Amino acid sequence: MAELAILQVAVPDSLVQSLSINYLWADGDESALWKKVIWNCRRGDRLPKDLCDMRNKDLWIGHIAKSEDSNFATMESYTQIQPSDALVVQIDGEWRNAIQWVFYSDHAIEVFARCCKGKTWIHSIGKLVEASK
């Protein structure tokens, strides 16, 4: 059993606007980029050379892959990753792909810590129990 909580952080628009951003979406025309990043990260590999420019961005915003890492380890290519491999959450009665923000660069981490200090709240939402099989 695990405790479930949501961490809410008030991030000023001015902070986000000051950062360079990578967007990583599981669907649409740019889904190949998301798939390549998921493929490499979930397999414990470094980003390939054709994605090295991504490291120069401060903030990464994108869809979250489901937690079954073993599925990615057995795939032969990133092209086998499907939009359905993205984590979905229900918001206002509608199922949507979950999104995460990663403050990636040292600069982004520093300004995030400075601008968001004291602007965080933890919301306990219950316990996670394993479903019977």
> pLDDT tens for residues 74-85?
889 999 998 889
Phi then psi dihedrals of residue 3, to 5 deg: -80, 135
DSSP 8-state assignment for residue 80: G
- Are 100 and 64 in contact, with CB atoms under 8 Å apart? yes
Q: Which pLDDT score is estimated for 14? A: 95
Written as tens digits, the pLDDT of the chain (133 aa) is: 678 788 899 999 999 999 999 999 999 888 999 999 999 988 888 888 999 899 999 999 999 998 765 688 888 999 999 888 999 988 888 999 999 999 999 999 999 999 999 999 999 888 776 666 5
CA atoms of 87 and 63, how far apart (whole Å): 7
- From 34, 22, 43, 21, select the one nearest 84 (Cα to Cα): 34
DSSP 8-state assignment for residue 76: S
Q: 3-state class of 124 per DSSP?
A: strand
Q: Which pLDDT score is estimated for 65? A: 92
Phi then psi dihedrals of residue 82, to 5 deg: -115, 160
pLDDT in tens, 89-105: 888 889 999 999 999 99
Sort strands 59-63 and 21-24 into parallel, antiparallel or unpaired.
parallel
Q: 3-state class of 12 per DSSP?
A: coil
